[in-house]
A and B are shown apart, each in its own frame.
Chain A
């Protein structure tokens, strides 16, 4: 109710605004006033102007600065005339002794505004253009003051008094708080602590989210109690600030848990607060749950007390809870936000021209709800909600929302393993989805993406266009392009993905950087610039470098200012960063290790700070995986340690996953199968139990299970697991995974000595790789194929060697340590089993390969293969009669074999 009748952008006069007005009077003195013009130079004058402009725009806090802060800042700005400025300010304030003075003050303020049509202006007079930013500010202040009733003027007057003596008042309040704490020492302290403790525990639970079992209640209780005592001690020392104050916990506020609001604090303008909230939202996303959720909560609580009609608070709270994985609170706050605001408050993506219709914008609520369910892993719920969002958007023809919804939907469908959508979407009658009712999931995704792209393009939603291009690239990467309507054997189809179009889409996505200004939210850019400018003021102050000359300092701030003015909005750089990540992923799939690594590095260096933490985590993940593959485990584990410190606090951290993967791999190579099995099980335990959620993880887990079984020589069981995995992949259309599962099956048959059975699998895998352009995987499949041929008998050695040599460039250029070693050993094997090959004449060909292989395997600690290589080496040496070298190889062989047979021993040694 109140939300609808409220006048937009209402404005109130506050003591801080009066200060700014006083300074403005100095900046542009009116003709009538006989003030001396204090500025020594034009640049000084401009500097004050810039400062005032920043004051009216900055969005670094929800509260207006106090007089103290203002005076401190003035010292920075004013340079040699700061004393004069401050003097004038305080004098002016002390001259306001009755409400009547206020009235006169504002009448005077009119004088500094030039009239719009006045041509005759005195030359030396500085006139404030009424339509300039500062002019508008003055006009709004005057208007707001004129609208005040007498009571309002009285309130303003009394708050002016508080403003001028704010520091002492604050001390009183904190003292009082302290007393109330002390006096309940004996009787209530325990109870109080208990309450506090349970509260904190709740909080911890929420914060830690995914790993609540790490929490041990008594310990937490102890910690909290301790913390409370500490805060009490601090308070008695007169320190009103809590220690863990992050830059977010508004530094200007007094005690955090006092619900009574400090009277000397006034909220900034609506515009500034919105800007601040937007920045906070960005921060929540960038830092994820590593950001202390309680500190955000406390400032939100304060803001809500002061501005109960500012519903954006609920949305921010939703975001906060979302990132700390508190499903119920997130849901509750999301619903509350939309109930109050009808989806019309504070959303950028709703163009202001369409305005607030009578119906509200509840479709945006549906969109958000759908995305929330998606994030919490409820795909079916999310799909239902998004379908409803599509329907409602269509009904009230909100194309913007529709475009976003379609994009969200396609994202959902492509991420979640949804076998068939007919049971979910079949019921809906929405045109977009129902025309596609007979189509497969991928085709649906494609259509949704196209539709979304088309709408976003026509609505000029640049960011959506960019992210749609990226989604399209992902789609092209994973799916074979087929004509949608002409199915059947006669249609000429090229069964191949098209890397060129992937590349094209990625580039189109990155185009955003050139025209991001088209759809930027001026509010935040403007405001954040101002707050950055203000912060820069403080920088030299906090550093003890005062020896700098004023000229150089000015230039440095100037450069910083310029620097910031070209900075890109966070969301844009995030999308561009995502394009680099996607580039890395696609290179990974296509099999170019250096290119993948390079793209990831570009991402990590350029976008690592600005992007969302989950993306940054992914980049680290890729780099570590690369290390493990190409440099061995030692380096990888060292890097993992660094990454762990950085990301483990995140909810749904992928680092744990990576750690398990690495450990599993390591254990497999070293032959510690028990450990491998355990890691594998833990990996599976990370996945959600819901159907279709965490598909990637589930596939990974069973793939690893099959490999473990294979290593344990349980061939039939391994084959079973691989078969069922293949069925799952088929059901959920995971084509690329299919290729690797097929390869694994071939591998299993090869190991079990059934080369004939393995051949079709290897061939199928190769053809999959071909159609998806998975060059590296294809090379490795070719290697397996060659091995299978050799397994059929030594008369196939020639063919096998040919195959291997065909794949060699790829393997040596891009393959990891293991693959290369395997190839080398196999090459040697081929030569050795070839009856036409004589060891004595051509020993170097074989020995070189074997030496290479054994070296690389040392890095990997892959005992089984290393033993094989060394065995072959020893045999060759034996043939050649080089006994010393033979013995050396043999001892190494023995070492590897013993290590392989007693993995636990080594484990102990290492410990």
Chain B
């Protein structure tokens, strides 16, 4: 089902107007981004109009010829009513009051805004009044949260408007005098009150009748904590649903499905920054760092003052140890908006990379002050505490991350690591198991678990071997697993298996052009092994390879070669000894 670009464009255009009329600014912002993301109709625009869009490389794509130039069409089916501008039923005086309320709202004077609209009965006014009231409550709640912070982290600050809002909205809903925006707000209120089932129902109703409100979709997404819930939702088909599904899949760690959705959407919204950032996020989860870096560079070129998702970019840069680039990024976001959790996180990352862990912790703390539920900051702070050898603090930080999102495998892994550091490898195993449960295809986790089993306190080598085998199957790029497998088998006296793994390891090192002590070790073992098993050709090959290296192994190889020749010529050394000349 390919939606025509033109109809999308028209729908979004109308929606932006309606959304910003209702002061749903972030939804309007999102819609605007997608609107500009649609490939433009070349006939209507001169190149100068497109300067905001994309780098030169993309411009060529923008004017692709295969686009069917469609006439503006009314949107299909159910959305038709909502796509057309809403009826202006309000009287002039209402409109005047509405303008005033809206201005107050825009100046963040929410209570004033809602007061102005106190007697207005039109849907639009009711929504704005309730929404303003809700935001006023939220604002007060945030303030109270700081004021009330007690000894036990008492966080019972609540939005005091919720009860009255719920009462009013539910009354409206009962009488049917509620529009889709009201339903959205009602869903939000219900969610805040912890009534998730009803909230979901209300939000679904809202997005089904008015699909362009991204806020509603994202609230709905936060309520879809499992694939079962997602599948149970009764959503009408609309292209906005694809956005929703893509982002939900991502949260549910179904990265490939999510990527497929985004790819499809990119067919329409070819230049959407949002889609690009989300794709990068998914790719990041699949550990395609190079690709992600390129995407973010591209993104920053087009949208240089973007702060959203930039913490992810900083993670990539951190992983690639690109100090300079990271500092550049940090500087840039710092100038843009220093009191964003993302900015603090980026700066924290930078200090961490520089080894200044105390400073890094300070910035992560700041990020958390700005957003208590900022998952990655908790985890990253845990890492810093591990570096600072403050295990209890690290464990605490990781645990908080896990309690915010129990699927965060990094935090589980961190917990395991921290406990292993305190000398409790057996206890740590549980956490490693947890982390592997959420990310079974990561060789690093398997290797960490194997190392745990290998510690002298536990010393369960069979289990370690199993883990290393899994790591090998998960494409262990660092090659630790093969080497360890060989060594473990050697230790357990299973020379045949050891030889197999040493050979594999050797193969891997050859293909990657690596050298080093591991290589020598493998060669020496293989040479001796094959000699004792009388496979002289192989043994000779390995011996000669050892001769390429310097060091004490050379002598060993030489003596091995001598021994091989002796045995090959039919005068085994043993016999020589038996008949001394």
Residue B91 at the chain A interface, CB threshold 8 Å: no
Q: Which of B152, B171, B365, B392 touches A358 (beta carbons < 8 Å)?
A: B392
Give the residue among A172, A187, A267, A388 with the most B Cβ atoms within 10 A: A388
Q: Which of A176-184, A470-478, A789-797 contacts B (4 or more CB under 8 A)?
A: A176-184
Question: Once the chains bind, are B393 and A1 in contact (CB under 8 Å)?
Answer: yes
Cβ of B251 to closest chain A Cβ, rounded Å: 22
Cβ of A654 to closest chain B Cβ, rounded Å: 31
Question: Once the chains bind, are A259 and B193 in contact (CB under 8 Å)?
Answer: yes
How far, in whole Å, are A12 and B153 apart by their CA atoms in the complex?
A: 12
Q: Which of A1, A176, A191, A429 touches B456 (beta carbons < 8 Å)?
A: A429
Report B32-69 CB contacts with A as 1/0, cut-off 8 Å: 00000000000000000000000000000000000000
Known: A151-B147, A260-B158, A270-B151. A176 touches B427 (CB 8 A): no
Residue A149 at the chain B interface, CB threshold 8 Å: yes
Question: Once the chains bind, are B426 and A388 in contact (CB under 8 Å)?
Answer: yes
Residue A519 at the chain B interface, CB threshold 8 Å: no
Residue B472 at the chain A interface, CB threshold 8 Å: no
How far, in whole Å, are A187 and B151 apart by their CA atoms in the complex?
A: 44
Question: Once the chains bind, are B173 and A183 in contact (CB under 8 Å)?
Answer: yes
Question: Once the chains bind, are A342 and B166 in contact (CB under 8 Å)?
Answer: no
Give the residue among A187, A335, A369 with the most B Cβ atoms within 10 A: A335
How far, in whole Å, are A172 and B198 apart by their CA atoms in the complex?
A: 21
How far, in whole Å, are A305 and B427 apart by their CA atoms in the complex?
A: 29
Report A1-28 CB contacts with B as 1/0, cut-off 8 Å: 1111011011110000000000000000
User: What are the residues of chain B within 8 A of A309 when measuring CB–CB?
Assistant: 151-153
Question: Once the chains bind, are A336 and B427 in contact (CB under 8 Å)?
Answer: no
Q: Which range holds the interface residue count of chain B? A: 35 or more
How far, in whole Å, are A554 and B162 apart by their CA atoms in the complex?
A: 49
Question: Once the chains bind, are B151 and A391 in contact (CB under 8 Å)?
Answer: no
User: What are the residues of chain B within 8 A of A184 when measuring CB–CB?
Assistant: 198
Report B83-117 CB contacts with A as 1/0, cut-off 8 Å: 00000000000000000000000000000000000
Residue A559 at the chain B interface, CB threshold 8 Å: no
Residue B197 at the chain A interface, CB threshold 8 Å: yes
Give the residue among B147, B150, B156, B399 with the most A Cβ atoms within 10 A: B156
User: What are the residues of chain B within 8 A of A6 when measuring CB–CB?
Assistant: 151-153
User: What are the residues of chain A within 8 A of B403 when measuring CB–CB?
Assistant: 336
Report A356-395 CB contacts with B as 1/0, cut-off 8 Å: 0011101001100100000000000000110010011001
How far, in whole Å, are A10 and B151 apart by their CA atoms in the complex?
A: 5
Cβ of A354 to closest chain B Cβ, rounded Å: 15
Report A278-312 CB contacts with B as 1/0, cut-off 8 Å: 00000000000000000000000000011111100
User: What are the residues of chain A within 8 A of B173 when measuring CB–CB?
Assistant: 183
Known: A180-B166, A183-B174, A187-B201. A261 touches B156 (CB 8 A): yes
Q: Which of B351-359, B415-423, B495-503 contacts A (4 or more CB under 8 A)?
A: B415-423
User: What are the residues of chain A within 8 A of B390 when measuring CB–CB?
Assistant: 358
Question: Once the chains bind, are A359 and B391 in contact (CB under 8 Å)?
Answer: yes
- A417-438 residues with Cβ-Cβ distance < 8 A to B are 427-429
Cβ of B154 to closest chain A Cβ, rounded Å: 6
Residue A173 at the chain B interface, CB threshold 8 Å: yes
Question: Once the chains bind, are B197 and A173 in contact (CB under 8 Å)?
Answer: no
Residue A637 at the chain B interface, CB threshold 8 Å: no
Question: Once the chains bind, are A306 and B156 in contact (CB under 8 Å)?
Answer: yes
Cβ of B304 to closest chain A Cβ, rounded Å: 35
User: What are the residues of chain A within 8 A of B456 when measuring CB–CB?
Assistant: 429
Q: Which of B147, B392, B400 touches A342 (beta carbons < 8 Å)?
A: B392
How far, in whole Å, are A723 and B193 apart by their CA atoms in the complex?
A: 66
Give the residue among A1, A172, A180, A359 with the most B Cβ atoms within 10 A: A1
Residue B370 at the chain A interface, CB threshold 8 Å: no
Residue B155 at the chain A interface, CB threshold 8 Å: yes
Select from chain A the residue with minimum beta-carbon distance to B164: A176
Residue B397 at the chain A interface, CB threshold 8 Å: yes
Question: Once the chains bind, are B195 and A392 in contact (CB under 8 Å)?
Answer: no
Residue B458 at the chain A interface, CB threshold 8 Å: yes
Question: Once the chains bind, are B148 and A155 in contact (CB under 8 Å)?
Answer: yes
Residue A238 at the chain B interface, CB threshold 8 Å: no
Select from chain A the residue with minimum beta-carbon distance to B400: A1
Count the A residues whose beta carbon is within 8 Å of the partner chain — how many?
59
Give the residue among B144, B148, B163, B194 with the most A Cβ atoms within 10 A: B163
Residue A195 at the chain B interface, CB threshold 8 Å: yes
Residue A38 at the chain B interface, CB threshold 8 Å: no
Cβ of B382 to closest chain A Cβ, rounded Å: 9
Select from chain A the residue with minimum beta-carbon distance to B378: A1
User: What are the residues of chain B within 8 A of A149 when measuring CB–CB?
Assistant: 147
Question: Once the chains bind, are B397 and A1 in contact (CB under 8 Å)?
Answer: yes
Known: A192-B197, A335-B430, A360-B391. A340 touches B399 (CB 8 A): yes
How far, in whole Å, are A335 and B403 apart by their CA atoms in the complex?
A: 12
Cβ of A335 to closest chain B Cβ, rounded Å: 7
Question: Once the chains bind, are B152 and A179 in contact (CB under 8 Å)?
Answer: no
Q: Which of A1, A9, A261, A331 touches B158 (beta carbons < 8 Å)?
A: A261
Report A397-432 CB contacts with B as 1/0, cut-off 8 Å: 000000000000000000000000000000111000
User: What are the residues of chain A within 8 A of B201 when measuring CB–CB?
Assistant: 187-188, 191
Residue B567 at the chain A interface, CB threshold 8 Å: no
How far, in whole Å, are A151 and B426 apart by their CA atoms in the complex?
A: 49
Report B342-372 CB contacts with A as 1/0, cut-off 8 Å: 0000000000000000000000010000000
Select from chain A the residue with minimum beta-carbon distance to B205: A187
Cβ of B137 to closest chain A Cβ, rounded Å: 12
Select from chain B the residue with minimum beta-carbon distance to A3: B396
Residue A881 at the chain B interface, CB threshold 8 Å: no
How far, in whole Å, are A138 and B431 apart by their CA atoms in the complex?
A: 47
How far, in whole Å, are A309 and B148 apart by their CA atoms in the complex?
A: 14
User: What are the residues of chain B within 8 A of A187 when measuring CB–CB?
Assistant: 201
Q: Which of A172, A192, A385, A395 touches B427 (beta carbons < 8 Å)?
A: A385
Cβ of A177 to closest chain B Cβ, rounded Å: 9
User: What are the residues of chain B within 8 A of A391 when measuring CB–CB?
Assistant: 423, 457
Known: A1-B381, A180-B195, A428-B457. A362 touches B153 (CB 8 A): no
User: What are the residues of chain A within 8 A of B441 when measuring CB–CB?
Assistant: none
Question: Once the chains bind, are B153 and A307 in contact (CB under 8 Å)?
Answer: yes
Cβ of B490 to closest chain A Cβ, rounded Å: 19
User: What are the residues of chain A within 8 A of B158 when measuring CB–CB?
Assistant: 260-261
Question: Once the chains bind, are B457 and A362 in contact (CB under 8 Å)?
Answer: no
Residue A339 at the chain B interface, CB threshold 8 Å: yes
Cβ of A256 to closest chain B Cβ, rounded Å: 13
Select from chain A the residue with minimum beta-carbon distance to B160: A263
Q: Which of B144, B154, B393 touches A306 (beta carbons < 8 Å)?
A: B154
Known: A305-B156, A385-B427, A392-B423. A360 touches B395 (CB 8 A): yes
User: What are the residues of chain A within 8 A of B460 when measuring CB–CB?
Assistant: 427
Report B220-246 CB contacts with A as 1/0, cut-off 8 Å: 000000000000000000000000000
Residue A753 at the chain B interface, CB threshold 8 Å: no
Residue A540 at the chain B interface, CB threshold 8 Å: no
Top 5 A-B residue pairs of the complex, sorted by shortest distance between their CB atoms: A10-B151, A307-B152, A309-B153, A339-B399, A259-B194
Question: What are 24 A-B contacts defined by CB distance under 8 Å?
Answer: A1-B381, A2-B153, A3-B396, A11-B151, A12-B150, A12-B151, A183-B170, A195-B197, A260-B194, A267-B152, A270-B151, A307-B150, A307-B154, A308-B152, A335-B430, A339-B396, A339-B398, A339-B415, A362-B427, A384-B458, A385-B427, A388-B457, A391-B457, A392-B422
Contacts A270-B152, A306-B152, A339-B398 aside, 12 further interface pairs with beta carbons under 8 A come to: A1-B400, A10-B152, A155-B144, A183-B173, A188-B197, A191-B201, A270-B151, A308-B152, A310-B152, A339-B395, A342-B396, A384-B426
